[in-house]
Copies of this chain bind each other. A is one copy, B any other.
Amino acid sequence: MGDAPRKNPSDFLGNVLGKPVIVKLNSGVDYRGTLACLDGYMNIALEHTEEWVNGQKKNTYGDCFIRGNNVQYISPLRQ
């Protein structure tokens, strides 16, 4: 995490805004796309969204609103 120093996890999330991320849901499904924005409930808006299940791309959705309480983790997508 060579970006700005971070004191709490929200700072971490601030650092990945506008960048490609993986969003893993409790159901085990991954959503990959550009993190457009998110709010305090971890509701997420992704752009250019892809749906991955067990390592295979299943769908593309373009824009996608993901409800926060299903999110397990968010991580920058390595290019």
Contacts and interface: CB of A to CB of B under 8 A. Distances in A.
User: How big is chain A's contact interface, by range?
Assistant: 35 or more
A67 interface: yes
B76 A67 contact: no
Copies of the chain in the assembly:
7
A65 B72 contact: no
Given A13-B65, A62-B78, A8 B73 contact: no
Interface string A22-42: 100111100100001111001
Contacts of A28: 27
Contacts of A1: 36, 45, 47, 63
B72 A66 contact: yes
A65 B73 contact: yes
Nearest to A65: B74
